[in-house]
Amino acid sequence: MRKLAPRLLLLLGGTILALSIGEVLVRVFWEDLRPLRDVEINYPMAFPAPVTGLEFGFIPGSEFVGKYDGDPYGTLPENHAVRYAINETGFRDRPFPGRIDGEAFTIMVVGDSFAFGEGVARGERFTEVMGAALSQKLGEPVETLNCAVSGYASRDESGLVRKMVPWLEPDVVLLAYCLNDPIHLFDEEYPAFDLIMLRDLGLETDPSPDSPLYLWRFLRQRLGVRRVTAT
């Protein structure tokens, strides 16, 4: 027991020292580490999606604004707000005329909020940047069709491909894969767009309470810790 006590004290001291160093580092680099968070954004969703018939999707022709709590990456307008416009097919892009002109090489992009471009102005998303870069490099027109929908998981994306590819006839389908895309495989009851469905059930989801410890804030944001309260 006497031999064990010094080891436990050493372990405890090392843990406290490591946490203290982590707290100091996070405080120093907080502005660089702090992710962009939305303060006010209400997605105009339809259940099911009107055009594709999938479980849910954006309401065609709708517009909404996302307001954010800061601009850590220097990409937002002065008011920290981004306007989102949905076309008549239900996607955040120019109007889709059906079958695309065969002279242009077309890339259909499928994904969730990352590919959708949450917090990014249209025209500055990786899809538009990629299309412009490829057009310049290849010396021929390259069109990107952004069919990403916030909240989509792998099953939604595969359904979207089956619905839209025969209509758009793209040359390439690019999946913008996110690590949480296959979440539905772990729980068949997992709601595809959980925050909206919880709200419809009379529940509200809020970030867990702020803490004076910056290390906890950093870990909480990375882990997506939230609390659910009845309304």
Q: Are 100 and 143 in contact (CB under 8 A)?
A: yes
Tell me the per-residue pLDDT of 153-181, one tens digit each, with 9 for 90 and over: 888 999 999 999 999 999 999 999 988 77
- Look at the block and give the residue holding tokens 């955040």: 92
pTM: 0.65
**What is the average pLDDT value for the chain, to the nearest integer?**
78
Q: What are phi and psi of 96, to 5 degrees?
A: -90, 120
Q: Is 90 exceeded by the pLDDT of residue 63?
A: yes
Q: Are 81 and 65 in contact (CB under 8 A)?
A: yes
Sign of the alpha-carbon dihedral angle for 137, 143, 156, 205: positive
Residues forming a β-bridge with 207: 226
Q: Which amino acid is at 228?
A: V
Tell me the per-residue pLDDT of 16-27, one tens digit each, with 9 for 90 and over: 888 888 777 766
Q: Who contacts 82 (Cβ-Cβ below 8 Å, separation ≥6)?
A: 65, 66, 68, 76, 118, 119, 120, 121
What is the predicted pLDDT for the residue at 20? Answer: 85
Tell me the per-residue pLDDT of 126-135, one tens digit each, with 9 for 90 and over: 999 999 999 9
Across 37-46, 75-84, 157-166, which has the greatest mean pLDDT?
Answer: 157-166
